[in-house]
Structures are given as C-alpha cells and as structure tokens.
Chains A and B, each alone.
Chain A
Amino acid sequence: MGVHSICNALSHLQNASRAKLGLTSIPNTKYNLRLALALHRAGFISSVTRAGLKPPPPEALLTFETEPVTSANVSTRRLWLGLKYFNNKPVMSNLKPVSKPKRLVTADYKQLCKIARGFHAGHVKGLNLGETLFLSTDKGVLEVREALEKRVGGLVLARVS
C-alpha cells in the first residue's frame, strides 16, 4: 500500500480545514477510511460517511444509510468528513505527512515512548503540546497513544495538531 493517497488526503484536509469548510470529501480507499476513523477517534473530525459524488444531507450525516459498495458504484464512492471548529479556530489546522512515497519512516515501540514524551527519536521529532502522530501498524491505523497502549510500532503516517 503506498502512502501517496494518504499524503494527498492530509494536504486536502489541511486546506479544507484552513478554508473553514464544514464538510469535505476524500477518495474512498481502505487506507483513507482507516485514517479517517483514527482521526475521528482522536476527536479531530466530527463524522465519517461514505456517499456518492454529492454529499449526504447535513442533518443525516450521522444516521445516513450508506449504500453497499458494488462494482457499479465503486468508482463514485467518496468519504465525506465533517470538520470541527472551536472558538472560531479549526480543531485540526496542521496535518503534515511524515512518511512520503520517497521515504517511509517507521518507529518502533521504544522510539514511540520517547517521541510521546517530547524527545526526538530516529527521524521523528518529539511531540509538542497538542500534537499527535498517526501510525499504520499491524493493528490498523492508530494514534500514537493507542499504539503505545497496544505496544506496537509501525509506519509513521502523519503529524496532526
């Protein structure tokens, strides 16, 4: 699985968030879906909905009955993500890819321990106040603290704050 679609999704989310959009969409891939769900678990986005080229109605975002993906409609499926704002500022304003198609960056459990405490480890800088890392591990795409809880390391996807 290449990380280029993840990088594109991150850039798009950062742009949409800084433009104060309420709802945006990214391509419907399994990798993007896992990242979106991880962001949702971390509280960065408000909703993850699979729909077509048109967004689902805003009032039905959380209760939307998604169509089953078929070979007929797979090319038109998109993931619609609700963006969050607090005090007139985006909750998620910085999304920076760490692994890029040219260089994949991994961190094992020991390194993650240091990074989560704010110290540099390997190619990854320590986390600042309010920053999180998202990793692709054997147990799915996880936030750094979830990975620490599960004692796994993996591919460092993004730094989000």
Chain B
Amino acid sequence: MSVAARPAARRLASSVGFLSTSTTGTTSSSSSSSSSSQIPLQSRRPFSSTPAPQARREPRSRFRAMRANDLGIAKQSNSPVSEEQIDDFTKKQFPKYTPAEKAELARMYTPEQIAALEAGEATINPRDLTIQGRLRTDIYRMPYIDDFAEHQPIIDKRAPASSRGRRIAPPDPNARFMNTDEFVSDLIRWADKFRVGEPTGQLKRLEDFVPDEWKKVKEGQWPGEVRDEAHKEFKKYLQDEINKAAKLQENGGVVAGGPTDADVLSYILERSVMTDKNIQTQSSLALALPDKVPGVAGMYKAAIDPADDGLDETGVFQDLKRKSGMSVQEILALQTKTLVMNRVSNQTRMGKIGSMVTMVVAGNGNGWVGLGYAKSQEPGVAATKARLDAISKMRPIKRYENRTIFGNVEAKVSGTVVQLFARPPGFGLRVQHRIFEICRAAGIQDLSARVPRSRNPMNTVKATFEALFNQKDPEEIAMGRGRKLVDVRKVYYGGATQ
C-alpha cells in the first residue's frame, strides 16, 4: 500500500472524501516505516547483478489495489465489508438526482437529452460504480464532465444547422476576402452605427458660410470669391471642431457618438474580413491574434524608414543597411545571382531533415564582388539569406584596365583547380557559366578560364573567388624588388586604354 508514494492518488482520495487527513498521515508514516524495514541488508557478495527476490520491488502497476477500509468503506481493517456499508457509501457518493436538480437539467437540456440522461441513470447501477468503478487521475483521462455547450470538432459530430434554438450556419463555402470597394462599404456600414456630425444636425454646412442671397443657389453657381471665402471659412470651422474634440478627449471626456477603443478592438477582432456578411458560423478555428491593437499598434514593429521609398516593407534590408551604410536603393541596384543550390539532409533519430544550401554572388559591376553562403529549410529563405550575406561580404578586386585580371591566376580548393587567364580587349568572357556570372558581377569583360580537374560547382565558385582575390599586384612586385615596372601597353600606345 503506497498512498504516500502517489501524491495524485492521495489528492483525489482526500478530495473525494475517502481519507481524512489524520488517516493520510498515519498511512504514509506506517507505509514508509514498513517499506524501510522490509529492505534486507546485503550481507553477502551477490553472484549476479540480478537482485535477490526479497530485495526486488513489488511489481509496478499504474493502479494500485486499495483496500476497502482504506477507502472508508469498511470500518475496521481485515473485517469483511457489509452490504450496508457499501450502500451507505454508494448513496453518499453517487446520489440520485433530486427533483430540483431535474428541473434545472430540464431548463438546460432538450427533452431528448433529458431522456438520454435518464436512460443512462437507469442503466448503470450505482453499486457497480462503488464495487467496480475506478476513478482515473492520470493526465490522459477523457474529459467526461462536459455540458456540451461548445462544439468540439475533434470529438463531436458536426452540429445540425439548428441547435438549442440558435441558428448557427456552416461557413459559407463561397466566401472570399473582400476587395477594396467591399471593404470600404463594410467599414462605412460599421461606422454608420457611430454616426456623428452631419446627421445629428450639430455641424454647420458649407452653405452656412455664404451670404444669404447665395444660400439657395447651388455651389456651382456661386461666384469665385464667394466660393473661395466659404471654403476657407468652412475648413477653418472643421479644424476648430476637430481640435475641440481632441481636447475634450484628452481631458477624459467622451466625444458623443464616436466609436470607443473597445468598439475599434471589437471591429478588428470580430468583424469578418470575408464576404460572409459577418454572420457567426460554426468553426473550430481559434481567433487569430490581431494585427493592430489600439494603444499598442506600432510599438512592436520597427518604424519603416521613409528614406526607403517603400522598397523594404518587410525590413529584410534594414540590418544590412545599418552594417554596410548603403541605402536600400543602392542595395537593390547591386547584381546578384544564385550560383549553386543544393539539397542537403541531416540524419537524426527523427529521420532525415532536409535543407537547401545556396551560394549567391553579388557585385556592383564595377570591381566589387562578394560570395554569400546560406542554408535553410526553405529555398527562398536560403536564397535571401545568401544574398544578404553576399552583399555584406563584398570586397574590391584588382582589375587590369577595368576589364580583365592581372596576369594568369590559379587557385585550388579541394580537387578543383581554376585557372584564370587575362585576355586582350574585346575577347569577351569565354568561361563556364558560374565564372561568367561572377565576372559579370565583378565587372570583368575579358577573361578565359579552365577548370582542368574536378568541376564541383561549389568548389569551382570558391576557387574562382580565391583566384580573383589573390591576383599579383605589379606595384607590390616593383616595390619589393626595388625595380621599376612599366606597363608596356601604355608605353607603346601613349597610355590609351581603349
């Protein structure tokens, strides 16, 4: 008996009334002392790692047997339980409905449901509940106690169109999101409930600001200066009214007729954005969190920089903008190209978890180029991340006459060797497609390349970058050797480069 070892069971027992606090205390103390006295001392060295039978714990069961006297049914321990005791317990724990309770039930449920309840009551003998019943306390127990007020889509069948006297229609299958015109008319319909100003007759109109002889004439026939004067006065009057209302609201007053914050919140939360006429329907979907809650709207989102001209609504470039010092317009003007996109997978005990890995080149077409690398489960996200990475890693490369490279360069990454060769003007880019894109982003026009060994796409790109960044610098060579180095091309052609 281990009531003390199972707090949940003890809690249930005490809540139901099986155990008083004093019995709980005695039971726990007696059980703990008896269990400690039962464990034998290990006097000999065991020959096997299996514990001796008497040292083993009792077979575990999720539902331990409880004695009737521990449940309060039997008065004395070891005495057989009498029928009277069982009946007493049954009457106390599972009493029949009183007439008052039946009346209350009849108010809540339909006659059919009442009939079902009564049939259930008649079917199950309360005595069986006492003898055989078992109250589950585990977390997986079913929530039987339910007043059926809510429709649970997983458990319940679809509710009929008319239940409990209130008509709840199924969702309109043809409903769609409102377009701009429908939304505006819906908003006006809602706002009409809080009509202020003109319909109340409290506000002045434009006609009130013209001399009497023009009041009955339509606006189109007013002379120019009269109309201008009237519009000016009317505008001033409206501004005054707005200021007055704002001041009143600031001082805690309520502007008569206007929607309160609660109305606005209810509009945002509860008003349907579909063309279903805002009728409540059965739905198992929880309400979504509102996009804009009055009072806190705009506090959790970074303010959009007006300098971006609305080019970065999602804010993906904000971080890069801060790091690089470039404007969004400049960032968007850079050339980027996805060079490599591979699917990779991580083998875990949950299975293979796939990701997309991307390499992107970015350049300004004028000597700056960068390589970005990113991985994500979503290809689009990986491409975006790699693009930002590439832009942030842009560095200048050396270009001879702003069109080709200095000398011939070779770079090796793993088994991939990339050889780049400087070429004369007008030669073009006779290179493979990935190197072509890199050259285009970097602003190189004349180049040839060989990839004599492995043509692994990723290593080709990496080796090309390594080669471009590791060009020899003629100035550095000249200074290192202490010799004068002359560009013969410039000597022969008088320095003309084109």
Contact = CB atoms under 8 A, between A and B. Distances in A.
Contacts of B51: none
Which range contains the number of A residues in contact with the other chain?
A: 10 to 19
The main secondary structure of chain A at its interface with chain B is: loop
Contacts, number: 30
Given A86-B476, A87-B476, A128 B483 contact: no
Contacts of B408: 128-129
B98 to A, nearest CB: 98
A37 interface: no
B111 interface: no
Nearest to B482: A43
A91 interface: yes
Contact of A129 (B407, B479, B482, B483): B407
A77 interface: no
A46 B343 CA distance: 55
A104 interface: no
B472 interface: yes
B472 A91 contact: no
A28 B470 CA distance: 37
B481 A91 contact: yes
Interface string A78-91: 00000011110101
Given A129-B472, A130-B472, A91 B483 contact: no
A42 interface: yes
A44 interface: yes
Interface string A121-142: 0000000111000000000000
Contacts of A86: 476, 479-480
B406 interface: yes
A43 B474 contact: no
Contacts of A89: 480
Interface in A95-125: none
Residue from B474, B476, B480, B483 having most chain A Cβ neighbours under 10 A: B480
Contacts of B481: 42-44, 84, 91
Contacts of A44: 481
Nearest to B479: A86
Which range contains the number of B residues in contact with the other chain?
A: 10 to 19
A9 B406 CA distance: 30
B116 interface: no
Interface string A38-67: 000011100000000000000000000000
A87 B482 CA distance: 13
A119 to B, nearest CB: 12
B256 to A, nearest CB: 80
Nearest to B485: A130
Interface string B438-472: 00000000000000000000000000000000001
A129 B407 CA distance: 5
Residue from B474, B477, B479, B481 having most chain A Cβ neighbours under 10 A: B481
A130 B407 contact: yes
Nearest to A85: B480
Contacts of A43: 480-483
Nearest to B400: A129
A44 B474 CA distance: 15
Interface string B479-498: 11111000000000000000
Contacts of A130: 407, 472, 474, 477
A130 B408 CA distance: 11
A84 B481 CA distance: 8
B348 to A, nearest CB: 45
A130 B485 CA distance: 9
B480 A91 contact: yes
Contacts of B406: 129
Nearest to A129: B407
A130 B483 CA distance: 11
A107 to B, nearest CB: 20
Contacts of A84: 480-481
B407 A128 contact: yes
A43 B408 CA distance: 22
A129 to B, nearest CB: 3
Contacts of A129: 406-408, 472, 474, 477
A103 to B, nearest CB: 25
Contacts of A87: 476, 480
Contacts of A128: 407-408
A89 B477 CA distance: 10
A22 to B, nearest CB: 15
Nearest to B406: A129
B483 A42 contact: yes
B207 to A, nearest CB: 85
A91 B479 CA distance: 9
Given A86-B479, A89-B480, A129-B477, 15 more contacts: A42-B481, A43-B480, A43-B481, A43-B482, A43-B483, A84-B480, A85-B480, A86-B476, A87-B480, A91-B481, A128-B408, A129-B406, A129-B407, A130-B407, A130-B477
29 contacts: A42-B481, A42-B483, A43-B480, A43-B481, A43-B482, A44-B481, A84-B480, A84-B481, A85-B480, A86-B476, A86-B479, A86-B480, A87-B476, A87-B480, A89-B480, A91-B480, A91-B481, A128-B407, A128-B408, A129-B406, A129-B407, A129-B408, A129-B472, A129-B474, A129-B477, A130-B407, A130-B472, A130-B474, A130-B477
| Nearest 3 pairs of A and B residues by beta carbon | A129-B407, A43-B481, A86-B480
